Amino acid sequence: MRYGSGGVNGWATLCGAFNGAAYTIQLISPEPKPIIDELYMWGERTALPDVAFTPSNARFEITPSVANSVICHASIAEWTKASGHKAFSKERDDRCGQLTASVARKVVMMLNDQHAGKFVPAFALSEEVQECSGCHLKGSRMENTRGKMECYACHAGVHDKQ
């Protein structure tokens, strides 16, 4: 799974933590789609790294930030704004490691809940995504894109979120 580092071979596309997590969920879960959807929506909307997991030997205090995306470069851009650190800093290295631990922790919790028959998604596609999907996804009048991500993370001015 090393190819996932840096948003897939350094391209800063899909965050490697979420890429690896989805792969793991796919291998383990009898019904992976709702778990992956929940993980990705959680990842877009949650301040990460999650303060529930901070290593006792952390080199730096890492500022959590909400990425509004599971795309590596969008996540790092939001974190650099929140923290004041640069994208190629040692603090960013630690941040991504702690974020990966937060994602792993969340995956284990969701898989355990699913195994116990207690998994209930906490997130749903936002009203904005549902509205955009009505025009842009399969079978719609425009049908010119795919996805479930929040639109405003990449498209400035959409629903006045940026």
Does residue 86 carry a pLDDT above 70? yes
Residue 27: predicted pLDDT: 97
67 and 29 within one domain: yes
79 and 101 within one domain: yes
Does residue 155 carry a pLDDT above 80? no
Instruction: Render pLDDT for 64-85 as a digit per residue (tens, 0 to 9).
Output: 999 999 999 999 999 999 999 9
Does residue 26 carry a pLDDT above 50? yes
Q: What is the mean pLDDT of residues 88-94?
A: 96
Cα separation, 133 vs 28, whole angstroms? 30
Q: What percent of the chain has pLDDT over 90?
A: 62
Angstrom CA distances, 83 to 16, 76, 92, 117, stand at 21, 10, 9, 39
51 and 110 within one domain: yes
48 and 112 within one domain: yes
Residue 129: predicted pLDDT: 81
Residue 112: which H helix or E strand, with range? helix 90-115
104 and 63 within one domain: yes
45 and 17 within one domain: yes
More reliable by pLDDT, 96 or 150? 96
Helix (H, G, I), strand (E, B) or coil at 25: helix
Residue 79: predicted pLDDT: 97
96 and 153 within one domain: no
Residue 6: predicted pLDDT: 83
52 and 15 within one domain: yes
96 and 147 within one domain: no
Helix (H, G, I), strand (E, B) or coil at 43: helix
Residue 162: predicted pLDDT: 43
Q: What is the mean pLDDT of residues 133-159?
A: 76
Q: How many domains does the chain have?
A: 2
More reliable by pLDDT, 64 or 156? 64
147 and 100 within one domain: no
Does residue 134 carry a pLDDT above 90? no
Domain range enclosing 52: 2-122
160 and 85 within one domain: no
Residue 53: predicted pLDDT: 73
Cα separation, 97 vs 62, whole angstroms? 10
76 and 32 within one domain: yes
Give the contacts of 73 (CB within 8 A, at least 6 positions apart).
7, 12, 13
